[in-house]
Amino acid sequence: MKYGYFDPEKREYVIDKPDTPAPWANYLGSPAYGAIISNNAGGYSFVKSGAAGRLIRYRFNEQDRPGRYVYLRDDEDGDYWSASWQPVGKPLNQYKSICRHGTGYTQIEADYKDIHSQALYYVPQDADYEVWKVKVTNSGNKARKISCFGFVEFTCESFYEQDQVNLQYTQFITRTYFKEKFILQTINENCLNAVNESRVDTRFFALAGAKVATYCGDRAAFLGKYRDYGNPVSVENGKLDGTLNYNMNPCGALHTAFDLAPNETKEFVFLLGQKREAQANEIVSRYEDTSLPEKEIDKLKTYWHSRLANLKVNTPDDNFNNMINTWNAYQCFITFVWSRAASLTYCGQRNGYGYRDTVQDIQGIIHLDPEMALEKIKFMISAQVNHGGALPLVKYSHNPGHEDKPEDESYRKSTGHPSYRADDALWLFPTVWKYVAETGNAALLDEVIPYADKGKDTLFNHLKKAIGFSLNNLGIHGLPAGLHADWNDCLRLGAKGVSVFVALQLYYAFEIMIRFAKYKKDSATEKEMTKQKDRFGKIIEERCWKDDRFVRGITEHDVTVGKKGDPEANIWLNPQSWAVISGYADEARGKAILDLVHKELNTKYGARIMSPSYRKHAFDGALALLFNPSTKENGGIFLQTQGWIILAEALLGRGARAVEYYLESCPAAQNEIADTRLMEPYAYSQFTESVDSPFEGRSHVHWLTGTASTVMVGSVEGILGLRPDIDGLRLSPAIPSSWKSFTMEKSFRGKKLNIKVNNPDGHESGCKKLTVNGTVVEPQPSPQGEGSPLEGDYIPASILKQENEIVLDM
Ligand code: GLC
């Protein structure tokens, strides 16, 4: 069953059947004032932290309740409904609803009994409050009397967990007031007179552009006894009884009533935020002009659409186009900005940036907004510890040069992270490389940036130290130690156990350092890195390759994980894909291991992280055993890893395979099987249940996942073949033979590239001829000196004009 479709022109996903298999969400605002909203207006808002700044309630893992509710009532016959299908939930043969999730806004339209309503939800650009613009139109031919009620359920206090469980305290610290245009909620208000005024929070829920007829600030009075959000007694009665809360549960509920002649429309605005009374008054008075929201929405669209405009593709596959042009790109920005802060799964308790997650998230937006990426790159570099390791969790309050670290009890206490991860700092190499290659800004390497704890250094030396950290933390056989864990949170190989994934990441890091050292003409570093790379290459060969595959790791008790013939977990995806990505595996071996992956791990919804799932033969430290088979790290389809297998296949020039993996796990391509997938068809989730599960194909943990960026990289660098380096751009698409042509518009270092790829003979990769502005580009010598001449698919940046017509004949 399908519930909606993409509108590529407007960059919207349109849900025309509201009974979606799960709440399908969108993000409004930013973590400064964040709002998550479902297609049925469920969700919550917070200031700065989902866990510590919660403004309105949401009950996780329930029926998507409550939310930002607008109720409508026919004052002649008493019938009532909601502007989103839920919470009232009128029969769908009488009630029509269309929800448009857009970039930073969500609009829900409804038609019921000749009344058309539109509720447009957003957080204005750079603002810290939210707006619900409501329009109600009489689409029938007789005059109507309508009441409209706006409702939010405030939390009793900002700490989500306290609000949920510590009722003996939280229910006795809050009260509400009516202030003509709004309900004002106060928390700990007596402290206004105390020394510590900062304890006091005040929130408001307002109505602008219409007159408040009746109001209520007490949830029990609003809902009535033994009732729910779907049948509040006050809406049923057509009026709010003016009860204000004093202890117990507050709410904001405002009612306005009006007559509507045929075709007449009434417009007004509900507003919500955490503000003192004077500020609330100021905000409300601005929105008395009900045309303000249109202007603000235009501004939001301009902001977002210009972020997304730097790459536009038109391939024969609409699912691919919709994801790359809008939805995967938008999700990359959302994960970039929000990290793992808050969703309908994450309640916001992770109070900081996970190092590896964030450094990977950056990769997803480099091709779209390298300057935004740069700021975060520097920030993350400043969270590297002076000895080269990285803070596993970077606090939102990060203060470079003055931070405590996993060695310190205080860090362990405040973050819950007891030690270093083996991979964290190694993610800097692909990320910094991608930024420098996209922009040509190699001067960044010489920029001095502080360490988290003490001292400062050039970025180049930061990178050297990251390598030093791995070299100083070797485990058995001289390979990088697994430490607390590597990318896979569930692999505890032991302090001296070793991770093959990390060994391959380190191998790749040497390669990136060699490129940078060549560019900087730093032959000492180049020599040292080459020496180390060769040395590690030999150990990898000796210890990590067994029979026909790369193993996953060796525990500190010298047990090899991921060997052929093991009863469980005998083949793992990441060491195979990363053997190719890191450049370790040559073409022949690369193809052989990826063929094995395809045979052993591929399923109709993507490649599994490993197989068979652990049941009885897990080593001590294989935490994946905790999960049901084919779930998450225990043999599920961990979607983040799909980006790597897509990239690896594309690097080998096997476009059909790359796109096969792409489409198997692509949300848009699962639009028609939404009841199987459950999660949004426009956003990646963390994993999909696989073959061992009775619910194969069901996906979980929506939106805030590293999948967004790895699949973006796999698509842009891999499938589309846009592979910049410091001096130019290589154009090496890897596509299915059925793609006979496609186009791309790309901004590159302030210039415009209009790229046309022709593939009349149905190749999967390769280049017969490359033409730039009418001139055939001949094969170039490799810009960083040595090696074979580059093939004819390379465009030196020096020949680019302001606008360029580029044709690649495959
Ligand atoms: C989750 C974590 C991420 C980890 C991955 C694999 O996505 O956020 O840090 O790499 O799981 O275990």
Query: What is the tens place of the pLDDT at every residue in 151-193?
Result: 999 999 999 999 999 999 999 999 999 999 999 999 999 988 7
Q: Report, as an integer, the average pLDDT of 99-106.
A: 98
Residue with the nearest Cα to atom 3 of ligand 1? 357
Q: What separation in angstroms does the CA of 494 have from each of 427, 471, 481, 482, 484?
A: 21, 17, 8, 7, 7
Distance 638 CA to ligand 1 centre (A): 9
Quote the crossing angle between the two packed helices 573-581 and 500-520, to the nearest 10°.
10
Contacts of 250 (CB under 8 A, 6+ apart): 153, 154, 156, 174, 175, 176, 185, 217, 218, 219
Please pick, among 16, 79, 489, 595, the residue that the annotation labels catalytic: 489
Positive or negative, the CA dihedral 20, 22, 26, 28 is positive
Q: What separation in angstroms does the CA of 165 have from each of 160, 170, 171, 252, 255?
A: 9, 9, 10, 22, 31
Distance 383 CA to ligand 1 centre (A): 19
Judged against a pLDDT cut of 70, whether residue 786 lies above it is answered with no
The SS3 of residue 404 is coil
Judged against a pLDDT cut of 90, whether residue 781 lies above it is answered with no
pLDDT of residue 784: 58
Pairing of strands 498-499, 794-796: unpaired
CA–CA distance, 189 with 199 (Å, rounded to integer): 8
| Residue whose CB lies within 8 A of the most ligand 1 atoms, among 340, 357, 684, 687, for a mutation test | 357
CA–CA distance, 47 with 277 (Å, rounded to integer): 17
pLDDT of residue 10: 98
Work out the pLDDT band at 490, boundaries 50, 70, 90: very high
Residues, the chain, total?
A: 810
Work out the pLDDT band at 788, boundaries 50, 70, 90: low
Q: Report, as an integer, the average pLDDT of 279-283.
A: 98
CB of 632 shorter than 6 A to ligand 1 = no
The one-character DSSP state at 708 is H
Contacts of 458 (CB under 8 A, 6+ apart): 445, 446, 447, 448, 449
46: β partners: 34, 54
pLDDT, tens digit (0-9, with 9 covering 90-100), for 193-230:
776 667 788 999 999 999 999 999 999 999 999 999 99
214: β partners: 255
The SS3 of residue 742 is strand
206: β partners: 182, 271
Q: Report, as an integer, the average pLDDT of 553-576.
A: 97
Give the ligand 1 atom nearest the CA of 686: 7
Q: For residues 634 and 644, is the Cβ–Cβ distance under 8 A?
A: no
Judged against a pLDDT cut of 60, whether residue 787 lies above it is answered with no
CA–CA distance, 762 with 739 (Å, rounded to integer): 7
Q: Report, as an integer, the average pLDDT of 603-628.
A: 97
The one-character DSSP state at 559 is P
Cis amide linkage into residue 612, ω under 30° from 0 = yes
Tokens read off for 594: 């990826």
Give the ligand 1 atom nearest the CA of 488: 12
Distance 354 CA to ligand 1 centre (A): 9
Tokens read off for 497: 């156990």
pLDDT of residue 780: 74
* Mean pLDDT for all residues in the chain: 96
CA–CA distance, 670 with 387 (Å, rounded to integer): 46
| Residue whose CB lies within 8 A of the most ligand 1 atoms, among 640, 641, 710, for a mutation test | 640
Judged against a pLDDT cut of 80, whether residue 401 lies above it is answered with yes
pLDDT, tens digit (0-9, with 9 covering 90-100), for 344-365:
999 888 778 999 999 999 999 9
| Residue whose CB lies within 8 A of the most ligand 1 atoms, among 339, 426, 487, 701, for a mutation test | 487
Judged against a pLDDT cut of 80, whether residue 733 lies above it is answered with yes
CA–CA distance, 58 with 421 (Å, rounded to integer): 33
CA–CA distance, 714 with 645 (Å, rounded to integer): 8
Distance 505 CA to ligand 1 centre (A): 16
pLDDT, tens digit (0-9, with 9 covering 90-100), for 15-66:
999 999 999 999 999 989 999 999 999 999 999 888 999 999 999 999 999 9
pLDDT of residue 775: 94
Q: Report, as an integer, the average pLDDT of 772-783.
A: 83
Tokens read off for 591: 């193809």
Start-to-end CA span in the chain (Å) = 39
Distance 424 CA to ligand 1 centre (A): 11
Distance 379 CA to ligand 1 centre (A): 21
Cβ-count burial of 323 within 10 angstroms (0-12 exposed, 13-18 middle, 19+ buried)?
A: buried
The one-character DSSP state at 639 is T
- Side chain identity at residue 612, one-letter code: P
The SS3 of residue 323 is helix
pLDDT of residue 484: 86
Cβ atoms within 10 Å of 775's Cβ, excluding its own: 9
Question: Could you tell me which of 656, 663, 623 has the C-alpha nearest to residue 642?
Answer: 663
Q: For residues 218 and 249, is the Cβ–Cβ distance under 8 A?
A: yes
Give the ligand 1 atom nearest the CA of 701: 7
Residue with the nearest Cα to atom 8 of ligand 1? 357
pLDDT of residue 193: 78
pLDDT of residue 782: 64
- Side chain identity at residue 552, one-letter code: R
Whether 489 sits among the annotated catalytic residues: the reply is yes
CB of 685 shorter than 6 A to ligand 1 = no
